[in-house]
Amino acid sequence: MREFVAARVRASLEGPRALFDRTVVWLVDNRVLLPGITTLTRLVAEVRAAENAALYRTLDAAVPDDLRQSMRDLLKVPEAKRVSELERLRTPPMRVSGSAMTAGLERAKDVRGLGAHLVATSVVPAARTARPFPPSGPTGPTKTAAWWARARAAPARA
């Protein structure tokens, strides 16, 4: 059953409820005695967390050290600035004008210049690359740094 849930987590973006429902269907189809709801919920959450952490560790290992450091530097708020460089790159132009369009294109060029597109993501299933963060994922530089730190620090799956 763990292998089934782990395979679903690796191959899809299903949330915990959908994983729970699919696991129940799998148990019924395979004529396995159903565990309690709480037990099954904990198992799905545990396997999901372990698989997601393994994915993040795999991606983290593929990132070159210089790129990793430049990404960390994006989280820092420069002196005499109110927001981090990451927030500046995330924020789209607020006005519709020629100068705003030019600023938006410059911002896109800056993002492309970071080099994150050079990281090999072929180890990640295509379904998992549709959205970089889960729905409850980080927003803002402080939360992003903490989220990735937790993902990297999660124990390896056995």
Lowest mean pLDDT among 34-43, 71-80, 93-102, 148-157: 148-157
Alpha-carbon gap, residue 29 to 15, rounded angstroms:
21
Q: Is the sign of the CA dihedral 111, 94, 141, 139 positive or negative?
A: negative
Contact 86, 74 (CB under 8 A): yes
The residue ranking higher by pLDDT, 86 or 154, is 86
pLDDT confidence of residue 119: 83
Per-residue pLDDT tens over the stretch 81-101: 898 888 888 888 888 888 888
| Residue 144, pLDDT above cutoff 90 | no
Res 5: pLDDT: 92
The confidence band for 4, taking pLDDT boundaries of 50, 70 and 90, is very high
pTM (2 d.p.): 0.60
Report d(CA 152, CA 19) in Å as an integer: 23
